[in-house]
Structure 1
Amino acid sequence: MNTYMAPVSVVIPTHDERRWARLVATVRSVREQSPAPAKVVVAVDHNPELLARVRRELPGVTAVGNEHARGVSGTRNTGVAHTGTPVVALLDDDTVAHPGWLAGLVRPFADPRVVGTGGAIMPGWQRRPDWFPDALLWAVGASETGVSPIPATVRNVWSGSMAVRREVFTAVGGFRVGFGKVGGRSRPEDTELCLRMSRHTGGHWVHVPLARVDHSIPDGTVSLRYLLRRCYHEGRGKVEMSRLLGGRDSLSSEREYLRRTVPLAVGRDLAGAVRGTERHGLARAGTVVAGLAAAAAGGAVEWLSSSGTRTRRTP
């Protein structure tokens, strides 16, 4: 089996000084990777005080300010622009990489058809709500459970743990600025990027489950209100993404999720509740249904909004 040997950089976007302790832990976990990255870039989203602190307290790290509009998409693009390696890995500022994370992500790049890779994002709960279902782990930035440990070709990966072939990333313009996470607004900027990069070269993405990171989920940050709002924005984002990219293939994974994952999850929780083996099964099943309803509402709002815009523009 061929081994990828070229140098790799790591980009970490950040925006809030209240996340400083988690950012420091993220940087430490990257520095402990073997082989070590050629460069570590911390990209700061329009926060001069935080940028100054990174430069002052994290020696050996390249600190840069977002050169685009506010938001994580422009922040990541800025970070990648300040690297020069053929492959660049991206890691969120509230994650900690396991040993072997970077080596696992870059190994598939020995195949020139691979445009990018992604790893498993494990939920680092301080205290998981009893009503929270596995089927909605994506809403807190975590991977599904029960994934095979064998690398596999996938449609898309998540930007919280991602590596890209820099040449292709640059050719398509990187993440779509203005389409991503800004404040409480959230759009699937990583999925949209993956689809554009694959279409540009005809290449593919590889999911590497053993390239793991822990994503911190502090106690009290996940409420039912938060979850429904997150699902609503996801629904809006998927409809907007489909309009931007065109073609039914842009939502193929979402249709599979609705057709297989959701019925299995709801059925399992309901069966457990009926048998008495799952005390919170009914609540978890109800949460899945409520989350999908919120996503459907968001999708409908986005579809009606875009339809109205097209109507007004049509003479």
Structure 2
Amino acid sequence: MSAPADSAASAASPAFSVVICAYTEDRWEDILAAVSSVRAQSRPALETLLVVDHNEALRERLLKEYAQGEDREQGAGREHGAGREHGAGREHGAGREVRVLANAGPRGLSAGRNTGIAASRGEVVAFLDDDAVAERDWLRHFAEGYADPAVVAVGGRTVPVWASGRRPDWFPEEFDWVVGCTYRGLPPGRVRVRNVLGGNASFRREAFAAAGGFATGIGRDGDRRPLGGEETELCIRLSRARPGAVLLIDDRAVIHHRVPGPREHFAYFRTRTYAEGLSKALVARSVGAQKGLESERRYATRVLPAGVVRGLRDAVLARPGGAGRAGAIVAGVLSAAGGYVLGSVRARRSGVAFSPAPVGEGAHG
């Protein structure tokens, strides 16, 4: 009689594995802060998996960092006595396990995430960017979404932390996706969506069994290729594999994402929007333009024109940055459109096609 009760408890409160993909020692302090934010969750994670993308020096440094941390915790536990270690000590250690792994696939974020999925043990796999920190109730809000068995993915809200201390006057909120953040135009609250945003997202393990993992060849490769779209492609594939599947965004599940100085400049804005056009061409090639561009059509025909009007209105009212924001929206649209056209031509000429990357079952039984 205990097995059904255990299964019901697991369904109502699934165990979370958190995957953080890292690639450069330049983000050392950010990586440590990201891990610390997971370990401080009000709803503890089962484990944190740090997947290092073909950087042996970083992997060894992280192995040393978290091996030392584990040694310190074990020493503290011994000092507090065996009884406390067995009781309150166990609760104190909940969610503090950190595993450091090497990306087992080709260079890039998609393969790194697939490595984390395969090694994870939780019923739900959550993803956090290596230059972001999660608020204390991040996983708790994710878990609430999974109370509905039809829900297979839950994402959250990502807030920019500008290196300069404030948003550049010219930078439109409609384009916050350029810096990996939630943008104006997404509906508020807990809502059903086509796709979650990869740097602040979670999926049931069964989603990967149904649809496969992230497609390599789509998505970011460190700082060298600022592409995206891998989570969009996966979510569309998942919805096709599981027609009744529900994907949610809950804007209470908040992370704070650092925006470095160079990404506050228009040169990066232009490069990233162009790369997004290339990415959308790859996504459309993989899953078809109808689904691949479904949300983008509404964004381009409703959200962006409204943003231009707001910017021009602010300019008339002599508010800072109004004309710049309107101009940036127009420039971003043209740049993304140019990337999409070129990406589509390249994809047709090369005959490139993407298949879902298989992921192992990991240690989850």
User: Normalising by structure 2, what TM-score?
Assistant: 0.81
- State the shift of 1:221 in Å: 3.1
How far apart, CA to CA, are the structure 2 residues paired with 1:29 and 1:13? Answer: 15
Residue 296 in 1 paired to residue 304 in 2? no
How far apart, CA to CA, are the structure 2 residues paired with 1:38 and 1:103? Answer: 13
- State the shift of 1:199 in Å: 1.4
Letter of the structure 2 residue corresponding to residue 197 of structure 1: L
- State the shift of 1:275 in Å: 2.3
The answer for the alignment partner of 2:213 in structure 1 is 174
The answer for the alignment partner of 1:230 in structure 2 is 272
The answer for the alignment partner of 1:313 in structure 2 is none
**Pairwise CA RMSD:** 1.6
The answer for the alignment partner of 2:191 in structure 1 is 152
- State the shift of 1:138 in Å: 0.7
- State the shift of 1:147 in Å: 5.7
Matches within 5 A, 1:5-16: 5-16=13-24
- State the shift of 1:100 in Å: 0.4
Q: % of aligned pairs identical?
A: 38
Change (3 A) 1:38 1:309: closer
Residue 308 in 1 paired to residue 316 in 2? no
- State the shift of 1:39 in Å: 0.9
Find 1:212's aligned residue among 227, 244, 254: 254
- State the shift of 1:247 in Å: 4.9
Question: Any gaps of 5 or more consecutive residues in structure 1?
Answer: 311-315
The answer for the alignment partner of 1:70 in structure 2 is 107
Find 1:84's aligned residue among 116, 121, 138: 121
8 Å CA contact 1:139–1:230 kept in 2: the answer is: yes
8 Å CA contact 2:153–2:204 kept in 1: the answer is: yes
Residue 102 in 1 paired to residue 139 in 2? yes
The answer for the alignment partner of 1:255 in structure 2 is 297
8 Å CA contact 2:263–2:269 kept in 1: the answer is: no
Q: Which moved more, 1:62-71 or 1:102-111?
A: 102-111
- State the shift of 1:279 in Å: 2.5
How far apart, CA to CA, are the structure 2 residues paired with 1:227 and 1:120? Answer: 21
Q: Which structure has the larger Rg?
A: 2
- State the shift of 1:6 in Å: 2.2
8 Å CA contact 1:106–1:163 kept in 2: the answer is: no
8 Å CA contact 2:175–2:184 kept in 1: the answer is: no
How far apart, CA to CA, are the structure 1 residues paired with 2:315 and 2:181? Answer: 25
How far apart, CA to CA, are the structure 1 residues paired with 2:225 and 2:207? Answer: 30
Find 1:52's aligned residue among 39, 53, 60: 60
- State the shift of 1:240 in Å: 1.5
The answer for the alignment partner of 2:242 in structure 1 is 201
8 Å CA contact 1:9–1:88 kept in 2: the answer is: yes
